[in-house]
């Protein structure tokens, strides 16, 4: 017997879970997503979210309230008489009328090993901190930010050179499978909940543009983690003078390397860069308005000889 599910999500990360629940035979009675936002080449067109677009292709009605402060929106949510709400990166803190608006409550798919990295940017923060593993957790939501009891955990290793983009793509598939399993067990009445530990709580705040510039005075490992944690978006960057004017260069991937020198100095013809201690090698770069290029291709069009200082 299928569950009646309200699905709540917005970015591409949420789409596999929506599709997997539908494929598992559940009745997705409604989808909630963030309202269309300005986008397009000049930012003038309103663009529907990836979840909104996926739901329309599946023939599921989509609702896009700005928030749930209007009682009419809460009443409409309750009117679906859903068994459960599934939430994956919806982008809105849910009020109690919504948390209690289904028969079995709201279950969230969160991309960290709670209570580490509660909040908005758990994938990026885990990599930037040098974590060796992360995962997906299905938890029952309560009023606090990612504080609810955990129902199911799936761990994922983080490789030495794993970027946020690669980990994002891995976790969204792991999360989809985990949520399908959780909903099956919930339907069968066999989904025990475990309270989160009181120790080890960390918050994954949104990435601020002011923290994206690369600080080569930091140890090489920290610089490498910073680069891969922000790749591909929003991207870590440095400035360098090219043809007499400063240019901003985004770094999409790097690796640890041998060498030493003044922080930010180019050490060789393969873009080895000295850090506060140790060195890294830049392996994929992108000029403003350009396309991503492997380091060798980048250097064919841009000269960064040994001794150049990046900052």
DSSP secondary structure string for all residues of 236-253: EEEEEEETTEEEEEEEEE
Check if the beta carbon of residue 290 is closer than 8 Å to that of residue 244: no
Q: How many CB atoms lie within 10 A of CB 11?
A: 17
For residue 288, CA distances in Å to 1, 69, 214, 216, 297 come to 53, 41, 16, 20, 16
Check if the beta carbon of residue 33 is closer than 8 Å to that of residue 110: no
**Burial category of 261 from C-beta neighbours within 10 Å (exposed 0-12, middle 13-18, buried 19 and up):** middle
114 is annotated as contributing to ligand binding: yes
Q: Which DSSP category does 196 fall into?
A: P
115 is annotated as contributing to ligand binding: yes
112 is annotated as contributing to ligand binding: yes
Check if the beta carbon of residue 68 is closer than 8 Å to that of residue 30: no
Q: Which residues are annotated as a binding site?
A: 112-115
Q: Which residues are annotated as a binding site for (6S)-5,6,7,8-tetrahydrofolate?
A: 112-115
């Amino acid at each position: 017997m299928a569950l009646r599910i309200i699905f709540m999500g917005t970015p591409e990360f949420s789409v596999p879970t929506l599709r997997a629940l539908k494929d598992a035979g559940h009745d997705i009675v409604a989808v909630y997503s963030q309202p269309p936002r300005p986008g397009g080449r000049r930012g003038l067109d309103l663009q529907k979210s990836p979840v909104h677009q996926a739901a329309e292709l599946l023939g599921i009605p989509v609702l896009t309230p700005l928030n749930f402060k209007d009682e009419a929106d809460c009443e409409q949510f309750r009117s679906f008489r859903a068994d459960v709400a599934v939430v994956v990166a919806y982008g809105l803190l849910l009020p109690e009328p919504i948390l209690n608006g289904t028969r079995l409550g709201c279950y969230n798919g969160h991309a960290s090993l709670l209570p580490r990295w509660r909040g908005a940017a758990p994938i990026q923060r885990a990599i930037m901190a040098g974590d060796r593993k992360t995962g997906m957790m299905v938890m029952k939501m309560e009023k606090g930010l990612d504080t609810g009891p955990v129902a199911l955990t799936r761990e994922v290793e983080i490789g030495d050179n794993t970027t946020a983009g690669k980990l994002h793509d891995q976790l969204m598939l792991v999360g989809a499978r985990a949520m399908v399993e959780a909903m099956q067990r919930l339907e069968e009445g066999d989904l025990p909940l475990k309270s989160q530990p009181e120790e080890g709580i960390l918050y994954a705040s949104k990435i601020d543009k002011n923290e994206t510039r690369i600080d080569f005075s930091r140890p090489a490992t920290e610089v490498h983690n910073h680069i891969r944690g922000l790749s591909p978006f929003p991207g870590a960057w440095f400035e360098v003078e090219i043809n007499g004017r400063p240019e901003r260069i985004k770094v999409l991937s790097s690796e640890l390397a041998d060498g030493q020198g003044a922080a930010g100095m180019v050490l060789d013809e393969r873009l080895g860069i000295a850090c506060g201690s140790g060195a890294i090698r830049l392996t994929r770069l992108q000029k403003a308005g350009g396309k991503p290029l492997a380091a060798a291709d980048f250097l064919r069009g841009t000269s960064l000889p040994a001794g150049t200082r990046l900052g």
